[in-house]
Amino acid sequence: MRSRDLGFRLSIGAFAAALLLIVTAIGFELARQSWLSIQRFGFDFWRTSTWDPVAGEFGALPFIWGTLYSSILALAIATPVALGIAVFVSELCPPVLRSPLIFLTELLAAIPSIVYGLWGIFVLVPFVRLLETWTPESLRALPLFSGPPLGVGMLAAGLVLAVMVVPFTSSVAREVLKTVPETQREAAYALGATRFEAIRAAMFYARTGIIGAIMLGFGRALGETMAVTMVIGNNPQVSLSLFAPQYTMSAVIANEFTEATDALYLSALVEIGLVLFIITLLVNGLSRGLIWTMARQVSSKVAA
């Protein structure tokens, strides 16, 4: 029996190894193709801001900034909405509404990103431009709101990304909340808690999974390409302003990869892909670490 189990373990382990192999191959391939650029610019690539294909000067800072800014902005907008939806659907809404609402949120996830991009240009950007023109002068003075009301820019990108992230985070959070044992809520109610307080207790119990859901949304936002490039303005600058057109890593690769012909240019673009890969690894590691520490705390609480 043992040897047959071993055979089983090895054969399915081979498939799991294939997965690991693919990811390592991607990382390796990215590093290999960007070697020219890595040798030439070294760590300066992460620090400098000039992106000049004609002069052969490449610095990725504006793209790193743009990706992180737009993703964090999207997360800030999407997380409360997504959690609100998850709580509403799993705890608060009448059972008859549950299935339709779940279906509708998943429909948001099913829309292809190019459709989001097109909707972005034709509907969202004019709307954002309107919002920008209505911003009172007093706020305009702040670096957060400075610049002409173009419509395209960080705010539009953050909004589009937020809409795309919401369904992922809310679906996972909803599933997680389902796994919280009823005893937790019942105990809270027994102590005289209001609905809010009971739900808050459930969310505290499930905080590990909820953080995981948020991180999943973050990952989605980091990698989104098509929708972002159509509404962000595609200007590689580091700017605090929500109104300023900026640029993300995925967008610049999508825009310039097919056109780049000289070796250094191409290598620099692939290196941006590598930088994004590394950042995804770091974000992932961070969320795993968070989940792991929280899981330990929860299990020790439950055991007690």
Partner 1 sequence: MQTSSLRHLVLAVATVALTACGGGTQQPAATQNASPTIQINGAGATFPYPIYSKWFSEYNTLHPNVRINYQSIGSGGGIRQLLNQTVFFGATDGPMTDEQLKSAPGPILHLPTVLGAVVPVYNVPGITDELKFTGPLLADMYLGRVKKWNDPAIAKLNPGVKLPGTDITIVHRSDGSGTTYIFMDFLSKVSPEFKTTVGVNTSVNWPVGVGGKGNEGVSGLVSQTPGSIGYVELIYALQTKIPFGAVQNPAGEFVKASVDSVTKAAAAAAANMPADFRVSITNAEGAGSYPISSFTWILLYENPTDKAAAKATLDFMHWALTDGEKYAADLGYAPLPDSVVKLEEAALQKIKVS
Partner 2 sequence: MNSLGTAAPRKILSALFVAACALSVALALVPLAFIMFFVVSQGIQSLNLDFFLHDPRPVGEPGGGMRNAIVGTLMLTGLAAAIAVPIGVVSGIYLSEYRGTRFASAVRFAADTLNGVPSIVIGVFAYGVAVLPFKHFSMLAGGLALGIMMIPLIARTTEELLLLVPNALREGALALGATRAKAVLTVLVPAALPGIITGVVLALARVAGETAPLLFTSFGNPFFSTSLTQPVSSITVQVFSYAISPYEDWHRQAWAGALVLVTIVLICSVAARMATARVARIRGGQ
List the x/- string, 194-233, binding to partner 1 by CB under 8 A. Answer: -----------------------------------xx--x
Region near partner 2 per CB under 8 A, out of 38-46, 54-62, 103-111, 231-239 = 103-111
Site for partner 2 in 36-65 (CB under 8 A): none
Q: Does 262 bind partner 1 (CB under 8 A)?
A: yes
Region near partner 1 per CB under 8 A, out of 65-73, 108-116, 158-166, 259-267 = 259-267
Q: CA 131, CA 243: separation in Å to the nearest integer?
A: 10
Q: Does 82 bind partner 2 (CB under 8 A)?
A: yes
At its nearest, how many Å lie between partner 2 and the CB of residue 241?
Answer: 24
CA distances (Å), origin 204, targets 78, 185, 196, 208: 19, 11, 12, 8
Is 78 or 159 the residue whose CB approaches partner 1 more closely?
A: 159
Site for partner 1 in 104-143 (CB under 8 A): 121, 125-126, 129
Residue from the set 39, 138, 261, 300 that interacts with partner 1 by CB under 8 A? 261
259 touches, from partner 1, partner 2, none (C-beta below 5 to 8 Å by class): partner 1
Is 156 or 222 the residue whose CB approaches partner 1 more closely?
A: 156
7 touches, from partner 1, partner 2, none (C-beta below 5 to 8 Å by class): partner 2
**Which residue, among 151, 165, 190, 50, has the nearest Cα to 108 in the 3D structure?**
165
Region near partner 2 per CB under 8 A, out of 13-21, 132-140, 149-157, 238-246 = 13-21
Residue from the set 50, 133, 183, 194 that interacts with partner 2 by CB under 8 A? 194
Region near partner 2 per CB under 8 A, out of 17-25, 42-50, 57-65, 147-155 = 17-25
User: How many residues line the site for partner 2 (CB under 8 A)?
Assistant: 93
Secondary structure (H, E, C), the chain: CHHHHHHHHHHHHHHHHHHHHHHHHHHHHHHHHCHHHHHHHCCHHHHCCCEECCCCEECCHHHHHHHHHHHHHHHHHHHHHHHHHHHHHHHHCCHHHHHHHHHHHHHHHHCCHHHHHHHHHHHHHHHHHHHHHHCCHHHHCCHHHCCCCCCCCHHHHHHHHHHHHHHHHHHHHHHHHHCCCHHHHHHHHHCCCCHHHHHHHHHHHCHHHHHHHHHHHHHHHHHCCHHHHHHCECCCCCCCCCCCCECCHHHHHHHHCCCCCCHHHHHHHHHHHHHHHHHHHHHHHHHHHHHHHHHHHHHHHHHC
Structure tokens at 144: 């957060």
User: How many residues line the site for partner 1 (CB under 8 A)?
Assistant: 32
Region near partner 2 per CB under 8 A, out of 128-136, 149-157, 162-170, 237-245 = 162-170
Residue from the set 5, 134, 138, 301 that interacts with partner 2 by CB under 8 A? 5
Q: Does 268 bind partner 2 (CB under 8 A)?
A: no
**Which residue, among 247, 286, 283, has the nearest Cα to 67 in the 3D structure?**
247
Give residues in contact with partner 1 (CB under 8 A): 50-55, 57, 121, 125-126, 129, 148, 150-152, 229-230, 233-235, 245, 247, 251, 255-256, 258-262, 265-266
